[in-house]
Amino acid sequence: MLLEFGSLGRVLAASPARLRQVVPNAPLVVSHLSDTRTAMMEAFRSELSSRPLVSSWNDLLEYLMADMALLLNERVRVLHLNTRNLLIRDEVMSEGTIDQAAFYVREIVRRALELGSASIVVAHNHPSGSPEPSRADIDLTRRLKHGCDAVGVRLFDHVIVAAEGHASFRARGLL
């Protein structure tokens, strides 16, 4: 498996379907790896839910890196926060291809209103390995910020994670 995936992180990031392709005669191994990943991510998630996100920013980045940095396709997720910056919900909004994922401002804003979110953090990954924002990432983030501002939801940050690290739009002055 390590030969096929290149690292333990990539083994854990692989989908059960992909694991079954690599080890077709070992369903128990696939099940254990999948369960291990689920337990690990749930532990991260419960830690994030217990305290304000602002005070646990590094934990959030570790969580996002563990969950998304090594994925082979782009994924967009939104973390919804209440007025105390506690996590209300963490949702995957879309799964894409190797170089793009659908990112609909209207749907993200609608969902934030449904959940009563005071603010949101949007995160997506770059399977290329580089966390550098593309022109499309920057433009979409500006549109999302305008949409959020119009309805009183704060876009706290947009974070891109990749194998080489992460990029925060807020830290880069892009929000």
The ranges assigned to domains in the chain are 1-50, 69-175
Fold of domain 69-175: Cytidine Deaminase; domain 2 (3.40.140)
Q: What is the pTM of this model?
A: 0.73
Q: Enter the tokens of residue 4.
A: 């096929």
Kindly tell me the sign of the dihedral angle through the C-alpha atoms of 83, 84, 88, 90. positive
Q: At what angle do helices 27-49 and 57-68 cross, to 10 degrees?
A: 160
Kindly tell me the sign of the dihedral angle through the C-alpha atoms of 16, 10, 160, 102. negative
The residue with tokens 């580089």 is 130
Q: Enter the tokens of residue 44.
A: 């991260």
Give the tens place of pLDDT for each residue, 99-130. 889 889 999 999 999 999 999 999 999 999 99
Average pLDDT over residues 51-63: 74
